[in-house]
Chains A and B, each alone.
Chain A
Amino acid sequence: MIAEKHLNWLISAVLLAVPVAAWLAGEVYTVTLATRVAVLALAGVGLNLALGSGGLVSLGHAAFFGAGGYAMGILASHAQSYQPLMEWPFLIEGTKSMPVIWLVAIASGAISALAIGVLSLRTSGVYFIMITLAFGQMFYYFAISWPAYGGEDGLSIYVRNGFPGLDTLQPIQFFALCYALLIVALVLCARINASPFGLALNAVRQSAQRVETVGLSPLRLRLTAFVLSGAITALAGALFADLNRFVSPTMFSWQTSGEIMVFVILGGVGRLYGPVIGAAVFIMLEHWLGGVSEYWQLFLGVLLLGVVLFARGGLIGVFARRRVGHG
Chain B
Amino acid sequence: MSMILLIEQVLNGLQFGVMLFVMAAGLTLVFGVMGLINLAHGSLYMIGAFAAATVAGMTGSFLLALAASLAAAAAAGAIVEVVVIRRLYARDHLDQVLATFALILIFSEGTRWLFGSFPLFLDVPDWLRGPVSLPGGILYPAYRLAIIGVGLAVALGLWALIARTRLGIRIRAGESDREMIAALGVDISKLYTLVFALGAALAGLAGALVGAIQSVQVGMGEPVMILAFVVIVIGGIGSIKGALVASLLVGVTDTLGGVLLPVAFAQIMQPSNAMLVGSALASMLIYILMAVVLVVRPSGLYGARA
Interchain CB contact (< 8 A) of B105 among A142, A144, A297 = A297
Q: Which residues of B contact A188 (CB under 8 A)?
A: none
Is B265 in contact with chain A by the CB < 8 A criterion? no
Q: How far is the CB of B24 from chain A (nearest CB, A)?
A: 11
Within residues 60 to 117 of chain B, which ones have a CB less than 8 A from any CB in chain A? 84, 87, 93-95, 97-99, 101-106, 108-110, 112-113
State the CA gap A192–B55 with chains docked (Å). Answer: 57
Distance of A103 Cα from B101 Cα, bound (Å): 33
Residue A48 interfacial (CB < 8 Å): no
Say yes or no: is B237 at the interface (Cβ < 8 Å to chain A): yes
Count residues on chain A whose CB falls below 8 Å from chain B CBs. Answer: 44
Contacting pair A308 B233 (CB below 8 A): no
A291 contacts partner chain B, Cβ-Cβ < 8 Å: no
Asked whether, in the complex, the Cβ of B222 is within 8 Å of the Cβ of A254, the reply is: yes
Contact of A262 among B98, B109, B276 (CB under 8 A): B98
B94 touches A295 (CB 8 A): no
CA distance A119 to B291 in the complex (A): 7
Q: Do B99 and A305 touch across chains, with their CB atoms under 8 A apart?
A: yes
Contacts of A138 in B (CB 8 A): 283-284, 287
Chief secondary structure at chain B's binding surface: helix
Residues of chain A within 8 A of B299, CB atoms compared: 123, 127
Instruction: Decide if B93 touches A298 in the complex (CB within 8 Å).
Output: no
For the A-B complex, the count of residue pairs with Cβ-Cβ distances under 8 Å equals 120
- B229 in the interface, Cβ–Cβ < 8 Å? yes
Bound together, the chains give a CA A246 to CA B280 distance in angstroms of: 22
Q: Does A114 contact B (CB under 8 A)?
A: no
Q: Kindly list the 6 A-B residue pairs having the minimum CB-CB distance in the complex, ordered from nearest.
A: A301-B105, A298-B109, A138-B287, A301-B106, A304-B102, A130-B229
16 sampled A-B residue pairs with Cβ under 8 A: A59-B97, A122-B295, A129-B37, A129-B97, A133-B229, A138-B287, A145-B282, A147-B276, A258-B104, A261-B98, A295-B112, A295-B113, A298-B110, A298-B113, A301-B104, A305-B84
Give the interface of A toward B (CB within 8 A). Answer: 51, 57, 59, 119-120, 122-123, 125-127, 129-131, 133-135, 137-138, 141-142, 144-148, 254, 258, 261-262, 265, 269, 295-298, 300-302, 304-305, 307-309, 312
Given A126-B93, A302-B106, A305-B99; 16 other pairs, CB 8 A cutoff: A120-B294, A131-B290, A134-B226, A134-B233, A137-B223, A141-B283, A145-B283, A258-B101, A295-B112, A296-B109, A298-B105, A298-B106, A300-B105, A301-B103, A308-B99, A312-B95
Q: Which residues of B are at the interface with A, using a C-beta cutoff of 8 A? A: 31, 37, 84, 87, 93-95, 97-99, 101-106, 108-110, 112-113, 222-223, 226, 229-230, 232-233, 237, 276, 279-280, 282-284, 287, 290-291, 294-295, 298-299, 306
